[in-house]
A and B are shown apart, each in its own frame.
Chain A
């Protein structure tokens, strides 16, 4: 189903079937050029497929933006081990909800993308790893997989091409960390979801220690279009060094929140005003997080002239990320925003490495206390300093993800922190878009939140 009205400003490539009757069905898919790209790819040499993806300038849509074609080319073709395709559907980044609509509305597009990747790297099995909280999507995916098997689009000798491929759906248990690719693989293998030491990278030793292509749902969904229409056509949709369109999620203080497919390079202010219908109640933009909560926030001034693409965001020392745009109006308390973000990361830190485990929790405690009026002037610097001590020193990017928005908010909105000092009430608490008041203590050791040592089902063997 769709959750928002489409915008005329969209460029519908990945979302072209959204809104069609029974869009998730194989019949609808086949009636709308479905699986044609696979058949075309089956007649192409694998190197040619990878070349086409490289030409398309497709960059990973999960957040890091690594060129997809290059990633695929790292898979050692002559490895004696089986190779795997793994779809990262662990969409947990706050502000991001695009993979969900892609899976809900057009699962066959994803399956086709996986098949083409399989052709490209000579893999014959794949896994779709779906976020624990999206468990209901499993039904949709499994229905699509069943249909595909029945229609001869999965299994042995697919459509007489001689290509075999098996695809499985797998669900996580609800951990943000499992969106990190190596933690996802651990989780897929049935272990505790903690990241692996890299190198080796998944392309060499991924699922079950075999070469693995691991991409985001949206990345795979873009592949059929690239093969069908050619890499150059896809590249032309975007801007140089960033081809195609981006599923962009507009959230926060915007009149028409939703998922919109926009060309890369789409101007930020136009996106807010025209696609999103502007900010409610005529308020002004205060801050914007462009790609999910792990990206540094931009001030309204910085948004002027910015475009939704990797380079423009990098120039503003932030990231396009996953395309989860969080729009904050002038009545938003930035201290509270930082607190809300940190509550998320402290809750989701897997606990593996010290700086992330302890840093996020410490920051959460300070920010909660600060927002409640218990902050001191030293705390302002301390918040920034703790975040900087985490940045670049954690095992995986989760620590960076927690540190970056915090650093940016403290630096860019320092005055708001000052306004909370000396026991003053939060200047924005009167605002009419109040959030739930957070508990002053989140579940901790004193109040075990779920698993306890008495609960043997919660025990896990680390690293098998």
Chain B
């Protein structure tokens, strides 16, 4: 890095990297320069004029947000002239502002209020008529109140630059300028609500949250969005046991403040009227409400009887339940039910990737205890515009000798051949060296080149897409997209190739070989069109480039990664250790006419097709069959009903309608635990609201174990206790509790050498959920179903 520039701000000597803006240099030194339009990561506007400062040798006040630091520059932010500029700028802003703070959603967390309180005048000299325009609704989730708008253009920029959508613009001129949709009177966009979130005042308000509460009356809980696999932190604002708002203004979590419609609004399934509130047991062919005690006793008795009779069990786990629940479920199945018939809906071949990497590298590698926990892309990007904090950030990657590695060796001894063990000797790794093969979310923002294979990231993985776009804008990253359809990445890709048939991917990759070879490094993201041997071939291709390559195996749901990591698979124990005994896979279980099938948070009797439009389209059919009559699913054509079906779910899904016992389960926002996202980063969930009626899956399983008298064998069933066991027993999950507890994300690294059981053919299929679909769960979100775009583009 070039030598730092020395300057003085308010008499304090400050050093900053060349190119740093004065406003950022001041902020790093703890000096606040107020601003509305300046927003880290977005293009500069210099429109609000709040950041005017005095600079020696400059005749006029300068905007600190556009002024790069200069050697010997003397800046003053605390002079009468500067104070007067701020005071009168606020006076100007308030001339047409309605000052309806008492009923404004933003009241209490409004930047205009804060600035006026701090820098503004106590009284107004404005005595003339204010201009007023009625409020407008731009979409089910976006309302616009023009008089409150201060025209900082943050919304326009976040939509255009951040999301790559560009749905908002400005119309009219002068004092009657207005933010307006570019499509006329309505938005056609991702409906992500970033414009509302980023609005410093209450001009853009959320259709879901508006007039619900005063901000200070809410309790805020850090949850992880339970829809797609990206693992965005969504901070849920709750009051009186109701979730009112989702956002991430504190920028904790891997997503910074980014959220898509699912993370910001998609929590609303939790109080859907069709939510199951009491257990159901089939009596005379009809599902009838019973007490928890009765339902649990019925299931426990059936389990025990079947065990005693030597009957067959099948267990299907979920892509949404926590690691703790998944771990406990597989333990329950294997230890108590003595079966290895356990699986879940796999949406990507993670095991195939880990196997391919394990065959080539020791990827034990940095358990990246992210000391920079909580720092997000926006903060990191401060590297551009902010002095480096010594020892910060990247330093977190340096792996010191890990006391747990010995334990790893001990654990690996089970079931691994000597050849495997040789390949599995833990090694210390060099940060950023060739062993760091699994990309993190932040890698997508930091690495110089990104290769996207198959998926339409903007629709299926909005966070990953957002990161890549920011990387392109801030670091000029080179993007390569090999996708079957046109994708948003095309707009800025260095090369995009349409690959209709996944089989042609390698030919297309060869076509790009020279370009990719010239890159300093690469992150490869691939979807379920690459499985098993194809992944090995892809990794071979990556290796042949001679540059560091990291990989992301794209998955669908919030804990898809955790499900396979926790051994919800017949071939794997937790941590990809071989189970050593054959078990039925998901589809085999559905065909096998088992004595008992136990489905926890999954909907396997839903027609499994990649066409999500069809899935969401038959939403109404579900309601019409609410009676719970047991009947075969027309057209689904999947499997035969087991003799006894137990389902834990939130709703009476297609599967639950077939069940003998339905146990109402809590959703992700009603429980504690951990989940692991698509990049293997584990984060903690915290309970935001209590479920009235339903219990968490972990509790249900624990109670069942107690009823069956096996609870002692299975161990305690609190999330914290199970997580401790996971830390001790599961490879790659020895994660720092403190970091997780503080809301940080830690990447797991579950591989150490080859995975013997992998490579038995394609098993994964992705639902390819778009922005407005989310499997079965998404059908119960009012917001996802309300937006116009959902009907057109999901």
Contact = CB atoms under 8 A, between A and B. Distances in A.
A362 B95 contact: yes
Given A351-B173, A462-B169, A446 B128 contact: no
Interface stretch (B180-188, B261-269, B555-563): B180-188
Contacts of A197: 44-46, 66
Interface in A409-464: 441, 443-446, 448-456, 458-463
B43 interface: yes
B99 to A, nearest CB: 14
A71 interface: no
Contacts of A450: 172
Nearest to B44: A197
A354 B180 contact: no
A425 to B, nearest CB: 21
A354 B171 contact: no
A73 interface: no
A445 B89 contact: no
A98 B561 CA distance: 72
Contacts of B184: 453-456, 459
Given A353-B46, A359-B92, A366-B128, A446 B133 contact: yes
Nearest to A460: B169
B160 A463 contact: yes
B173 to A, nearest CB: 5
A366 B170 CA distance: 27
Given A454-B184, A454-B185, A459-B184, A355 B160 contact: no
B175 interface: yes
Interface stretch (B145-153, B454-462, B571-579, B603-611): B145-153
B174 interface: yes
B92 A354 contact: yes
A393 B95 contact: no
Interface stretch (A10-18, A103-111, A207-215, A341-349): A341-349
B185 A444 contact: no
A449 B176 contact: yes
B101 interface: no
A456 B182 CA distance: 7
Interface in A140-187: 175, 177
Interface stretch (B47-55, B526-534, B587-595, B638-646): B47-55
Contacts of A393: 49, 52, 60-61, 85, 89
A201 interface: no
Nearest to B144: A453
Interface in B666-711: none
A451 B172 CA distance: 6
A459 B171 contact: yes
A192 interface: yes
B398 interface: no
A177 B173 CA distance: 10
Nearest to B89: A354
A346 B66 CA distance: 26
Given A393-B61, A445-B131, A453 B173 contact: no
A349 B52 CA distance: 20
Given A446-B133, A453-B178, A456-B183, A392 B60 contact: yes
Interface residues of B, number: 54
B95 to A, nearest CB: 5
Interface in A184-229: 192, 197
A395 interface: yes
A449 B131 CA distance: 13
A347 B44 CA distance: 26
Nearest to A199: B66
A449 B172 CA distance: 9
Contact of B136 (A353, A357, A451, A453): A453
B166 interface: yes
A350 interface: yes
Contacts of B131: 361, 444-446
A354 B182 contact: no
Contacts of A378: 125
B216 to A, nearest CB: 28
Contact of B175 (A358, A389, A448, A463): A358
B128 A369 contact: yes
Nearest to B174: A349
B506 interface: no
B262 to A, nearest CB: 26
A98 B384 CA distance: 48
Contacts of B175: 346, 349, 351, 357-358, 360-361, 444
Contact of A354 (B48, B136, B178): B48
Given A459-B171, A461-B160, A463-B43, A351 B49 contact: no
Interface string B699-725: 000000000000000000000000000
B388 interface: no
A357 B151 contact: yes
B143 interface: no
A462 B172 contact: no
Contacts of A441: 129
A388 to B, nearest CB: 9
A365 interface: yes
Nearest to A452: B171
A459 B136 contact: no
Nearest to A196: B46
Given A369-B128, A392-B61, A393-B52, A355 B89 contact: yes
A136 interface: no
B156 interface: yes
Q: Which of B48, B85, B91, B181 has the most C-beta atoms of chain A within 10 angstroms of its own C-beta?
A: B91
Interface in B29-46: 43-46
A382 B125 CA distance: 8
Nearest to B183: A456
Contacts of B153: 462
B136 A358 contact: no
B176 A461 contact: no
A361 B129 CA distance: 11
Contacts of B211: none
Interface in B149-163: 150-151, 153, 156-157, 160
B173 A350 contact: yes
Contact of A459 (B92, B126, B181): B181
A7 interface: no
Contact of A362 (B60, B126, B157): B126
A66 interface: no
A393 B59 CA distance: 11
Contacts of A453: 136, 171, 178, 180-181, 184-185
B150 A354 contact: yes
Contacts of A445: 131-133, 146-147, 176, 178
A462 B160 contact: yes
B172 A448 contact: yes
Nearest to A361: B175
Contacts of B49: 353-355, 393-395
Given A444-B176, A445-B176, A358 B171 contact: no
Contacts of B47: 352-354, 395
Interface string B79-94: 0000011001101110
A346 B174 contact: yes
A445 B85 CA distance: 27
B653 interface: no
Given A177-B173, A392-B61, A460-B170, 4 more contacts: A197-B66, A354-B48, A453-B178, A453-B181
12 contacts: A348-B174, A349-B175, A351-B174, A351-B175, A355-B49, A365-B128, A393-B85, A395-B47, A444-B131, A445-B147, A450-B172, A456-B182
Interface of B: 43-50, 52, 60-61, 66, 84-85, 88-89, 91-93, 95-96, 125-126, 128-129, 131-133, 136, 146-147, 150-151, 153, 156-157, 160, 166, 169-178, 180-185
Interface of A: 175, 177, 192, 197, 346-355, 357-362, 365-366, 369, 378, 382, 389, 392-395, 441, 443-446, 448-456, 458-463
Closest 4 CB pairs of A and B: A351-B177, A456-B184, A358-B92, A361-B175
